[in-house]
Structure 1
């Protein structure tokens, strides 16, 4: 796993930018969205919207795409979905 960090950007800015990139991909290919709600310590709270709302695969998207991608760069974070 990679622990790449860019010193000119805070951890929060890096996480926010990564979530924006994930959201663009998910929106383009699946019709859903990911929005950063809050970062509290090592917990990242996101809202999955668009086609993700009510989708039975929401937990897989949250843990596989969102959390899985974030943990590649920030192995200590946990990701939770909020309404």
Structure 2
């Protein structure tokens, strides 16, 4: 397993730690990619796409969990929510 694969595995684990809270509210998150610049691209799904709290959930939940697991990540962006991208 190379370094990028290991990083992606850590990101997926971080998302799994937050996923139950998203699912409880009818939403979810999908890992899309890890760019060469160490930017993580996520896709918010279900009710998370239109929820007024999605920006806070994204920053305080998803991004924080990913940064704790993988401090070398530069940026975490949502591919499908204009206000977060």
What's the TM-score once normalised by structure 2's chain length? 0.75
Could you report, residue by residue, the CA deviation over 1:27-81 in whole angstroms, capped at 9, with x for unpaired residues?
Answer: 1x22110100111131110011111111111111111100011111212212100
Q: Which moved more, 1:13-22 or 1:49-58?
A: 13-22
Runs (4+) of structure 1 moved beyond 6 Å?
A: none
**Number of residue pairs matched by the alignment:** 75
Please state which structure has a larger fraction of its residues in helix: 2
| RMSD (Å), alpha carbons | 1.9
What's the TM-score once normalised by structure 1's chain length? 0.76
Structure 2: 5+ residue stretches without partners: 81-85
Structure 1: 5+ residue stretches without partners: 1-6
